[in-house]
Chains A and B, each alone.
Chain A
């Protein structure tokens, strides 16, 4: 279990407990947190679960998957710390993770 904080573009904070093994995307969708669309349902086949991972966390979480950067090319305003939240698997180590959401996904 990890406490994860999702910050909407307008600054609204949502902190929720997410079970180990779920993805950061699923943590948002299952808790009805707005800002993550996840159109393809977690298949790394779209770029609508795009988040910015806070700098101090970026190197601590699992590395980008092969093909993830290809999808991020198609995301809305990708930055250096961009990730697809469907590719970040939650574990105890992620307790306290903070992700910012882009202005929009599409």
Chain B
């Protein structure tokens, strides 16, 4: 069981700056995020898109913003738990016990939800009966490519994941690549490679087709794919892989006894605390009168939530407001020399 003053759920800009604020006032914290990298929506949805409304930063991309926030955290030692999703938050006296899907567990007086619109999960197929084949013949990510050796694999999607795996698996599997239109959004070099492999019959390419039906009882035997003009083709296949990107799902947060309205969590505007003492929500996921879904609002919310955490983490100490320009204690924490 890991002990910490505050556990932050979500490593997007708001979670990162909240961590900074916690460390600045002398609290320790750890961060859990379901993505395999730091940055949240900034890194997953718009790494290359310029943002124009970060105070004092005329223009920066989602990736630059993330990197700057990570740099700002450099003086501090913060443990990140990436590729882990918080599944359970349970009360234990005046503490919260938090458990992730990878078996990590934490005990903390403060849980700060900086979860954006929820956790990123792969978008799934919508055809009937897909659930029963999931994790057996239908996969949304690949852990061990060797299971496909010598088999027929039908890959759906038009982005880098779909194309990269089509190229890779064409070495020792029979690959069908199916995409809903002629253009691909993957890297041009990979697109060229796919066309080359299609010509040499290493990849069977079906464009303007989508999955229509799954056939088979215990495992998939074949699939029907359909084009815009309702023409149907039947393909024998052992595996079906879907690479449609990630979508955001509120997920387990819905089960923690919080007041939730339209996928957002109600908070007060003093501490950004939810209806549960010691659980806060900041950034896009919180809701209060006048809420703006801006990154700058998340920074403000995180700064106030961090101060609220102090009271529960250090019940016998008094929090004293200090400026970074003048506080000796803060400068010590930052590892900078004081005048």
Contacts from A to B (Cβ < 8 Å): 37, 39-41, 43, 45-48, 69-70, 73-74, 76-80, 103, 106
Cβ B183 vs Cβ A46 within 8 A: no
Among all A-B residue pairs, the 3 with the closest Cβ atoms = A74-B245, A45-B45, A70-B185
Cβ B183 vs Cβ A74 within 8 A: no
- Which of chain B's residues have a CB closer than 8 A to the CB of A48? 247-248
Contacts from B to A (Cβ < 8 Å): 41, 45-46, 49, 117, 123, 126, 157-159, 179-181, 183, 185, 210, 228, 244-245, 247-249, 263, 293
Chain B, interface SS category: loop
Cβ A43 vs Cβ B46 within 8 A: yes
Cβ A45 vs Cβ B46 within 8 A: yes
Bound complex: CA A9 to CA B210 (Å): 20
- Which of chain B's residues have a CB closer than 8 A to the CB of A45? 41, 45-46, 49
Cβ-defined partner of A80 (8 Å) among B45, B228, B248: B228
A-B contact count (CB 8 A): 53
Cβ A46 vs Cβ B247 within 8 A: yes
Query: Could you list 17 further interchain pairs (A-B, Cβ under 8 angstroms) beyond the known A41-B293, A45-B41?
Result: A39-B117, A39-B247, A43-B49, A45-B49, A47-B245, A47-B247, A69-B185, A73-B158, A73-B180, A73-B181, A73-B185, A73-B244, A76-B123, A76-B126, A79-B228, A106-B247, A106-B249
Bound complex: CA A3 to CA B263 (Å): 28
Cβ A73 vs Cβ B157 within 8 A: yes
- Which of chain B's residues have a CB closer than 8 A to the CB of A41? 293
What are 13 A-B interface contacts by the 8 Å CB criterion? A39-B117, A39-B247, A43-B46, A47-B245, A47-B247, A69-B181, A73-B179, A73-B180, A73-B181, A74-B244, A74-B245, A80-B228, A106-B249
- Which of chain B's residues have a CB closer than 8 A to the CB of A106? 123, 247-249
- Which of chain B's residues have a CB closer than 8 A to the CB of A79? 228
Cβ B117 vs Cβ A74 within 8 A: no
Nearest residue (CB) in A for B245 is: A74
Cβ A46 vs Cβ B159 within 8 A: no
- Which of chain B's residues have a CB closer than 8 A to the CB of A76? 123, 126
